[in-house]
Homo-oligomer: A and B are copies of this chain.
Amino acid sequence: MAEVRNIDTRERILDAAERLFMAHGYEGTSMRQITGDAAVNLAAVNYHFGSKESLMQEVFRRRLDWLNEERMRVLNEMEQAAGDNPLKPSQIVDGFFGTLLRMADDKERGGVTFLRLLGRTLTEPSEFVRTFLADEYAGVMERYKAALFKALPDVPKAEIVWRFHFMLGATSYAIAGTDALRVVTDWQIEASDTVDRTDRLVPRLMSFLLGGLRAPLPQFGSPAEDADVKVA
């Protein structure tokens, strides 16, 4: 086979798609915008990826494969070092969310653009992307949930799952953040803060997440339903 007239046609499409899906969403981005931004022919997407849906999936797979492998690697390493002892919650949270957030500095892996795309996509339950993400995430989630159960034996498992969910939300906003934040505050605090995003954002968010994860358990009002939830 003749190898590639222009190696980075695929990559250029993926980069443009990542950027545009982040900015305007999946439905809000047209093939003509993508191929225009990438400076390739309109038919190139269908030739290289088959369809717009497949392109979207490839945009995610390119980043998530690495991310979830890295999360697995970090967790394995920590558990091996700990032996039979449970990990500290701060370790687990850092392994999952810290690994994600540190992608922001890694331009080679999409940087802040991909993180924002991921954050916004998690709240857009379009069927084909949801089932795709569910598959990509299933294994990692299972392992990290198990680690948290072991680290926090006194906290009901349902409570941990909920708090994991809350942590995901806080993290998504922290990422999608700088833009969405402006919605809600006039935001004149430190204009220089766009620079040191991860330097300061990561410890800030970590404190918040751990504070939430380890908060006192809630008191449920009505006695009828306070038998606590069992996890399957």
Asked if B174 and A200 make an inter-chain contact with CB atoms under 8 angstroms apart, the answer reads no
The CA of A181 and the CA of B124, in the complex, are separated in Å by: 11
Q: Helix, strand, loop or mixed for chain A's interface?
A: helix
Cross-chain contact A123 with B123 (CB below 8 angstroms): yes
**Is A4 on the interface with B (CB-CB < 8 A)?**
no
A225/B200 contact (C-beta < 8 A), A165-B173, A189-B158 known: yes
On chain A, which size bracket covers the interface?
Answer: 35 or more
Q: Of A35-43, A106-114, A125-133, which stretch is located at the interface?
A: A125-133
Contact A185 B161 (CB under 8 A): yes
A5 CA / B199 CA spacing, docked (Å): 61
Residues of chain B lying within 8 A (CB to CB) of residue A180: 122-123, 125
Return the CB mask of A87-108 against B: 1 if under 8 Å, else 0: 0111100100010000000000
Q: A63 within 8 Å of B by Cβ?
A: no
Q: CB-CB < 8 A to A44: which residues of B?
A: none
CB of A176 closer than 8 Å to a CB of B = yes
A119 pairs with B123, CB closer than 8 A: yes
What residues of chain A have their CB less than 8 Å away from a CB belonging to chain B? 23-28, 88-91, 94, 98, 119-120, 122-126, 130, 133-134, 137-138, 141-142, 145, 157-159, 161-174, 176-177, 179-190, 193, 196, 199-200, 202-225, 228-229, 231-232
Supply 14 further A-B pairs (C-beta < 8 A) apart from A167-B170, A190-B229: A90-B228, A124-B124, A125-B183, A130-B179, A141-B184, A158-B193, A159-B204, A165-B181, A165-B184, A193-B229, A203-B224, A208-B215, A214-B231, A216-B231
